[in-house]
Every structure is written in C-alpha cells, then in structure tokens.
Amino acid sequence: MSLIRNPVLPGFHPDPSIVRVGEDYYLATSTFEWYPGVRVHHSRDLVNWRPLGGILTERGRLDLSGVPDSGGVWAPDLTYHDGLFHLVYGVMDNYALGYKDIANYLVTAPSIEGPWSDPVRLPGRGFDASLYHEDGRSWLLNMVFDSRPGRGFAGIELQPLEGGKPQLILPNRNITEGPHLYKIDGWYYLMVAEGGTGYEHGVTVLRSRSMAGPYEEDPAGPMLTSRHDPSLELQKAGHGCLVETPAGEWYVAHLVARPYHNRTCVLGRESALQRVEWVDGWPRVAGGVPAVEVAAPALPAHPWPAADGWNGLERDWSTLRRPPSPDWLAADHDGLTVHGGQSPYGLRGPSLVAHRVTAQKCSLEAVMRFEPGTVHQSAGITAYYNSRNWFYLAVTAEGLVLTSSDRGARTEHLLGPAAGEVRLRVEFDGPVVRFNHGPELDATVLSDEHADERVDGQMRAFGFTGAFAGFWVQDLAGEGCTARFERIRYEAAR
C-alpha cells in the first residue's frame, strides 16, 4: 500500500489551500514577506509533489517593500470555477498595536502557469479570505477583525462576490479564522481554523442546510488538532482545506509543525495531508489527530524527476521583499551574481536569496568570489529567520566576520583574513547551526517561537515563517558591489 509521508511540503509552507482539476492536484501556501508570492506545488497522486514556483512574481502584482516581518501574503485560497483558476490572497501591511492593515485581492488564470490577471481589490473587513462557487455565482468568506480596544476576532462573514451586504454567518468562538465552504449531499459544510496558529490550533467543521446558517458543530468535536497530546510528532495541526479524488476519496490539507525538544519550531509551519472518512454525515480524521503516515488514494504512482542541488531560482529559491530583477540579481546554470542591497534591518531593498530549511539536518554551500571596497560592503552566507534574528558569515573589509542578531541585539566575531575565492557552508543539525568557520550557534534563535515578540502586552512581531539558508550581499552606502556564488548545493535529510 502506498503511503503519504507528512509533512508533504517540509519547511516553511503554511496555510495550505488544495484544489483538484481533472487528474492534477495543486497546493498553494502562504509566503509572507518572500517572493515569489503564493508558492504552488503540483501532484497527481497526493504522495509526490513538485514545486511550480509562485503566482505573484512581479512587484506590479505584489509590492512587499516595507512590509513587516511575517507581514505580506497571508493565507491564499486557490479554487477552480468555470474554466478559471481563482486565487484570493491578503497582503498584510501592518499588524502592530491591535490593528490589521490588510487588503484582499483576486487574480484569475486559465492555467496554473498563467497568464494571471491583474489583481482586483476585494471587499472584506478581515483576513483569511476564500471563495465559494455554486451555480455560476461566487461568494466571498473572510474572518472579521475588530480593531477597537479589547475586541479582535469577530467571526466569519459571507457576501456575494458580485456585490451585496456582508452577513455574519458564524460568531467568533475561539479565534475563529481560515473559513472554507463546501456543499455536499445537500449540506453546507463550513470548515474553520480555531485556537490560534500555535499549539492550541485546530480544525473545526460545522454544517447547515442554508448557506447563511445557522451552523451546528460536529458533535464529535474538532476534526483535527494536536492540542491535547504534546507527544505527537506533528504539532499545531490546523487551517484545513478539503479535496476529493475522482474515486470519491477525501483528504484534508492542513498545516503542522515539527518542534524540537524545547518546543521551538525552526522549520516553521509545514503542509500535511490526512485521510478523511465520512461518519454520520460528518468528515472526520481518524482519532482527530495528525498522522505522519497516511494511506494514499487509489491513484497511479506519479513520482517526479529528482531535482539537482542547484536548479535555478524559479522553483526552489526565494528572495526577500523584492522580486528577482536584473538590477540586482542574475542567475545562470553555474550560479548567482548578486549586487549589494540594504542592511539586515532594511525592509525595502535587501539582497538576500535563500532556500527554505526543510529538515532538522541540512546544509547549504557555495564558493564565493567577492572583493569588498569599503567597510560598508559585505557578502556571505546566512542562516536567517527575519530581520531581527539571523546569523551571517561574511567577507568584509576587515576579514571574515561572523555576526549574530538575536531579537536585534548584534554580536560580531572577527575570524581572520579572507579575500578572493572563499568556500562557504552553513549546516543545520537539530538545535545547532554550524558554519565552516566559527563556533556552534543556537538554531532555536531562528524559530517561530523566538521570533514572536510582545511589548507591554501588544504584539511587536509575529513568527509565521521559518528558517532559511541563503546568500546575502550588503552595500550600505550604495557604492556598488557584487558577489558571485558558484558550486551551489543544498542538501537535506528526510
């Protein structure tokens, strides 16, 4: 029997939205402050997945300059209706001090490869927007956010996409968000995420004979959660989305996390699949908990060709807050040429190209050629979470320097002279980060939990992404510098 091995998308791939079109399954995930916006993976058997790159690849369609850490693209929803793919997504410009400055957009395309339409601004007074299609019409769902002091999550709204007043169909229960609506055998099933995105996360299913409700909850309780069992390998299970195979088998795509011994999640939130059985008219997962191995559907096996260690930017690599463009980045068969950008704390024009950390044991290496002209220039390799939490081994005008940033507090170690061609390597080994120069470092600084910051009870920064390994070039005075990276190789143990 073929098995699905979870997570099916390891590393930073949260908030999965899954859709089947014929024999093809597509899974879209959140990308926050990273390009390309909304990564998509493709499968024909739900076991083997290949990256297709991202949907929002140009600044004209997605502007991430200046968005905060863990801002940007939140919770995409991918559906297919009347011969078109529909992608709904939110762009979070600010979430600090009790406000949520987010705009929701819709793009469409006849094929998953595009061409995608220009974004259309949608109504909506919150985030996690999704579409429901029925009889040639479409409805928009989203959670409602109330920014007045002491308020916050305010339930789930529904409104016709063509225009009309929004209607509250479910009041807030327990941080209710992530709605998806389905009509099956005369029932409307409303699937929501509840409990927040951390260790209390879960998937709840409610149903009604009317689209507008009222909705009753499955008497068996949450469809899926890890909150009651800290021994489970897969934690934070939540934010679900249903899909049906041609043979009538059902699965739910959802996010999970694989914490280390101290309950920190360096790999971020990942995507998994669970088999769904219908019991007394309710979709249920065995035991209501996420399993690492799940029976695959009765579909022909469809593995994809293995990717090389360096196979170009388009599918496996991401750039921070600005898309790849010739003015700062060039990729070819042999490697990367990167022009320097802003400082580590700059939110508009950094020059950082990175690969998601996808396993507790993994590594990235390259050979770099770089000659710094001034003390304002550096280039090297990084283990990165966000603008406040990172490690950076760089060639500078002073020599080889290892810099750590822990919630913005920097420390530097001068390791010795360096010039010309330098071999660079960073290795993740569970809770340890090692560079090929310098001491061992604490990998849990690069975790979701460590990135969360509150000041006087108010959220300062969210940790919604995951660790990256990448190449970073800094030109703080804009004097012009370039680094060349070749013999690039990323390796990960599964």
Whether 339 maps to a domain, the answer reads yes
* Residues annotated as catalytic (active site), given as ranges: 15, 177
CA-CA-CA-CA torsion sign (87, 93, 97, 99): negative
Q: What is the pLDDT of residue 308?
A: 67
Q: Are residues 249 and 342 in the same domain?
A: no
Q: Which two tokens stand for residue 487?
A: 């013999």
- Residue 303 within a domain: no
Is 90 exceeded by the pLDDT of residue 11?
A: yes
Site of tokens 């997570």: 7
More confident residue, 30 or 162: 30
What pLDDT, on the 0 to 100 scale, is given for residue 10?
A: 98
Note the pLDDT tens digit of each residue in 250-292.
999 999 999 998 899 999 999 999 999 999 999 999 999 999 9
pLDDT in the model for residue 454: 85
146: DSSP letter: E
Same domain for 369 and 440, yes or no, is yes
Whether residue 302 is contained in a domain is answered as no
Is the confidence at residue 246, as pLDDT, over 90?
yes
- 287 and 322 in a single domain? The answer is no
Phi, psi (rounded to 5 degrees) for 131: -115, 145
**59: pLDDT strictly greater than 90:** yes
For residues 286 and 150, state if they share a domain.
Answer: yes
> 119-141 pLDDT, tens per residue?
999 988 899 999 999 999 999 99
Whether the pLDDT of residue 4 is over 80: the answer is yes
Q: Are residues 125 and 259 in the same domain?
A: yes
287 and 368 in a common domain: no
> Are 61 and 185 in the same domain?
yes
Whole-angstrom distance, CA of residue 277 vs CA of residue 291: 14
Q: How confident is the model at residue 1 (pLDDT cuts 50, 70, 90)?
A: confident
List, in sequence order, the alpha helices (H) in 359-470: 448-451
pLDDT at 348 over 80: yes
The residue segments making up the domain with residue 186 are 3-295
Residues 194-240: tens digit of each pLDDT: 999 999 999 999 999 999 999 999 999 999 999 999 999 999 999 99
Convert the pLDDT of each residue in 385-409 to its tens digit: 999 999 999 999 999 999 999 999 9
| pLDDT reported for residue 53 | 94
Q: Which two tokens stand for residue 201?
A: 């996360």
Instruction: Inform me whether the pLDDT recorded for 440 exceeds 80.
Output: yes
**Is 426:382 a contact under the CB 8 Å cutoff?**
yes
Average pLDDT, whole number, for the chain?
95
Judge contact between 468 and 321, C-beta under 8 A: no
Task: Say if residue 158 is in the same domain as residue 257.
Answer: yes
pLDDT value of residue 458 = 74
At 349-358, the pLDDT tens digits run 999 999 999 9
DSSP 314: H
From residue 349, alpha-carbon distances to 48, 64, 386, 463 in Å are 36, 10, 14, 21
Q: What is the pLDDT of residues 416-429, one digit of tens each?
A: 998 789 999 999 99
Q: What is the CATH number of the domain that holds 15?
A: 2.115.10.20
Domain boundary among 244, 269, 295: 295
Q: Are residues 353 and 431 in the same domain?
A: yes
List the CATH number of the domain containing 455. 2.60.120.200
285 and 320, same domain (yes or no): no
Q: What is the mean pLDDT of residues 89-110?
A: 93
Residue pointed to by tokens 């992608």:
87
- What b/e readout covers 269-308, taking b as 16+ CB neighbours within 10 angstroms? bbbbbbbbeeeeebbbbeebbbbeebebbebeeeeeeeee
Structure confidence at residue 309 (pLDDT): 66
Domain shared by 123 and 165, yes or no: yes
pLDDT given at position 336: 97
Structure tokens at 116: 């995608």
- pLDDT given at position 455: 80
Q: pLDDT value at position 331?
A: 95
Number of domains present in the structure of the chain? 2
Are 48 and 4 spatial neighbours (Cβ–Cβ below 8 Å)? Answer: no
**260 and 359 together in one domain:** no
Q: What's the confidence (pLDDT) of residue 416?
A: 93
Does the structure show a pLDDT above 90 at 472? yes
